[in-house]
Amino acid sequence: MLIGLGYTIINSDYLDRDMLNSKQIEVFYTVYKEGSLTRAARSLKVSQPSISNSLSYSEQKLNLKLFLRQGRRLIPTPEADILYQHAQEVNRHISQFNNVSRNLLSDQLGYINVGCTPSLGLRLMPKLIQAYLQQEPEALFNIVNLQSAELESHLRELTFDIVICFNPEGSEVIRKQVLKKGQMLLITPPDFRSHKAELDISEISDLPFIRIRNLQPSESQDSLESHLRRNKIDLTWVVQTETIEVAKSLVAEGIGFALVDDFSISQFSLPENVGLYSFAPRITYEIGALCNLEKPMSRSATRFVEFVEELSQNGLESLLGPTRTLS
């Protein structure tokens, strides 16, 4: 069959002969990444001969040599190096497609899929769900705890009906609803004492700090990262952890200082002799709810999202009580 494109006549059979399908690209990608037919076959859960046949067929179709044998290892050719960069992108899209299809299937099971950070999972989610179940006692929830950046990535893949995290960023397809604003506090080791009610972080920037990965940078407000960047402050991060509970224990052992949000720290009593200070100038954060407008949602998920957004108009204090204040 001939297809006319402007003044050029192209034989479609010729085009098809030089193209790989998604399965052949996946085999090439896996062989390149694993470096051997055996490991690639194990990764794809198929036989080694089928991998070898697919690879040979791809080389014939492309009229390119993709790998050279060196003992039991396969050495990629320069052409394979170039194609692998594109195969990575194709594989990423296939993975996203499969994730989306699985997530759409899970919606049919009736669960409301909620993503939130670990500290919000400890304090906010139990009270939020308890309040909602009073209205909708038959509701079912699936809660996943990840860090803010990971949650937003999964939201784009339609994993969650709603994400509640720190310093979220909205977009044309991601609707953002601010639930609460607050300020950062500093918890200090037992041997640290200051007569000041408020501290300037630049005065202690050379001391060891513990990073809590709940928070992520935000361009829409005066967040921790933007404050440090604007004032050219480089903190010495000696430990990185996922949760405030671990950070508190590290601070109590004298390992370093930790920057925490006043929302999460109000839930827990501090270890003995650990100090708590505020900052001047104020360093802020947001807790927000995100929804992907491209995700088809069940009725139960839609009602829960509406409940959260309505709650944001009244403030979380009505649900949780006031935030921790310093004496």
- The whole-number average pLDDT for the span 302-322 is 76
Number of alpha carbons in the 13 Å side-chain half-sphere of residue 186: 29
With bands split at pLDDT 50, 70 and 90, how would you rate the model's confidence at 251? Answer: very high
Q: Give the Cα-Cα-Cα angle 94, 96, 98 (nearest 5 degrees).
A: 70
Q: Which comes out higher in pLDDT, residue 2 or 104?
A: 104
Per-residue 3-state assignment (H helix, E strand, C coil) for the chain: CEEEECCEEEEHHHHHHCCCCHHHHHHHHHHHHHCCHHHHHHHHCCCHHHHHHHHHHHHHHHCCCCEEEECCEEEECHHHHHHHHHHHHHHHHHHHHHHHHHHHHHHCCCEEEEEECHHHHHHHHHHHHHHHHHHCCCCEEEEEECCHHHHHHHHHCCCCCEEEEECCCCCCCEEEEEEEEEEEEEEECCCCCCCCCEECHHHHCCCEEEEECCCCCCCCCCCHHHHHHHCCCCCEEEEEECCHHHHHHHHHCCCCEEEEEHHHHCCCCCCCCCEEEEECCCCEEEEEEEEECCCCCCHHHHHHHHHHHHHHHHCCHHHHCCCCCCC
pLDDT at 64 over 70: yes
Tell me, what's the pLDDT at 238? 94
List pLDDT tens digits, range 7-55: 333 343 444 455 788 888 889 989 998 888 888 888 888 888 888 888 8
With bands split at pLDDT 50, 70 and 90, how would you rate the model's confidence at 4? Answer: very low
Q: Which comes out higher in pLDDT, residue 105 or 118?
A: 118
Distance between CA atoms of residues 22 and 87, nearest Å? 9
With bands split at pLDDT 50, 70 and 90, how would you rate the model's confidence at 222? Answer: low
Tell me, what's the pLDDT at 5? 35
Structure-block tokens of residue 260: 């925490």
Tell me, what's the pLDDT at 283? 81
Tell me, what's the pLDDT at 215? 63
SS3 260: strand
Q: Which comes out higher in pLDDT, residue 111 or 95?
A: 111
Q: Please state, in angstroms and as integers, the Cα–Cα distance from residue 76 to each residue in 28, 43, 70, 83, 85, following that order.
A: 10, 18, 10, 10, 12
- The whole-number average pLDDT for the span 202-211 is 89
Tell me, what's the pLDDT at 290? 93
Tell me, what's the pLDDT at 134? 92
List pLDDT tens digits, range 154-202: 888 888 999 999 888 888 899 999 888 888 899 999 999 888 878 888 8
- The whole-number average pLDDT for the span 140-165 is 88
Q: For the chain, which domains are there?
A: 2-105 (1.10.10.10), 107-178+286-320 (3.40.190.10), 182-285 (3.40.190.10)
Tell me, what's the pLDDT at 194? 86
Report if pTM > 0.75.
Answer: no
Q: What percentage of residues in the chain have a pLDDT greater than 90?
A: 19
With bands split at pLDDT 50, 70 and 90, how would you rate the model's confidence at 267? Answer: very low
Distance between CA atoms of residues 50 and 40, nearest Å? 11
With bands split at pLDDT 50, 70 and 90, how would you rate the model's confidence at 109? Answer: low
Which helix (DSSP H) or strand (DSSP E) does residue 207 occupy?
none
Which helix (DSSP H) or strand (DSSP E) does residue 271 occupy?
none
